[in-house]
Amino acid sequence: MFTEDLIPVASGPPPVELYLASTAGPPDRTLLVLHGGPDWDHSYLREPLDRLAGTHRLLMPDLRGCGRSTRGLPDDQYTPDAAVSDLVTLLERTTDATPVDVLGFSYGGLLAQLLALTAPDRVRRLIIASSSVLPPPPGGAGPRFPDDPALTGPALTRAAAFAGAEQDVWSADRRAEYRARLERVRFSAEWLRALRAGRLPSPRVPDAAHRLAALGTPLLLLHGAHDRTFPAGLVADTLPLIPGARGVVLPRAAHMAHIDQPEPWLAAVAQFLESS
């Protein structure tokens, strides 16, 4: 179902290629999906989005430094602006001038906002899933890195993902399937290295709500009610600031709402994509 390619997006030095998994579908119904982490890959988001294949064309890249995309870049080349520049080039090389729909998950939701504001002519609709426009309150839950000096690099990122399973998946009977999905993720630690070196700028857009409201791009905030990374109350706080924005908060779902509630989650995505 998925075609796999390496797409050159930056000439460097060093040159950067993004690994891209894509499906067939109408070019004017393209959905670009941006994963979180950022030291994960896109694979944990394939299901249930793969059910849209055919009616939509799916583009699911791994960000620079992630998955099967180019790794080993200098720390100062892991920035939100560089990632968004890659994505703009990716769209130039894989689509025509028709705007695409964008779904950004977690950290990818922050990049999706930056992409929409950087290249507004390329983004038709915007879905911010398990992420936020407004900053979360101080002291919120984030990745939990095990206090084990023997764990470094991708092994540390992987361990943190598994350690967060009970927090990130609300339904106990869905966690085994989630852990099986994590086993397939090609974790890296490129962005973590940049973060710990103090070279990773914030992905948050200053005054994002006001700027997205002025942009007028149709927006869906899709959330799990029990998300501890980006609390669901941020949805209610954001909607009055962006006229016309929609919010869907799924009960019995946490940060990985697409794992907890795959059918309602996908239905919310599909319904929004069909909207005018």
pLDDT tens figures, 22-79: 999 999 999 999 999 999 999 999 999 999 999 999 999 999 999 999 999 999 999 9
Name the E strands within 50-99. 57-61
Looking at residue 142, its pLDDT comes to: 63
Angle at 45 between CA 41 and CA 47, to 5 degrees: 140
Closest listed residue to residue 195, CA positions, set 34, 68, 16, 38: 38
Q: What is the pLDDT of residue 139?
A: 67
As a whole number of angstroms, the longest Cα–Cα distance in the chain is 52
Question: In whole angstroms, how far apart are CA 195 and each of 32, 104, 110, 256?
Answer: 26, 21, 16, 23
What gap in Å lies between CA 40 and CA 164, rounded to an integer? 14
Helix (H, G, I), strand (E, B) or coil at 54: coil
Residue 172 neighbours by CB distance under 10 Å:
8
Q: Which residue has the higher pLDDT, 101 or 139?
A: 101
The pTM score is 0.96
Residue 110: burial class (beta carbons within 10 Å; 0-12, 13-18, 19+): buried
Q: Which pLDDT value is given to residue 35?
A: 98
Going edge to edge, which strands form the sheet with 30-34?
Answer: 3-10, 16-22, 57-61, 30-34, 100-105, 123-129, 219-224, 246-250
CA distance 4 to 1: 10
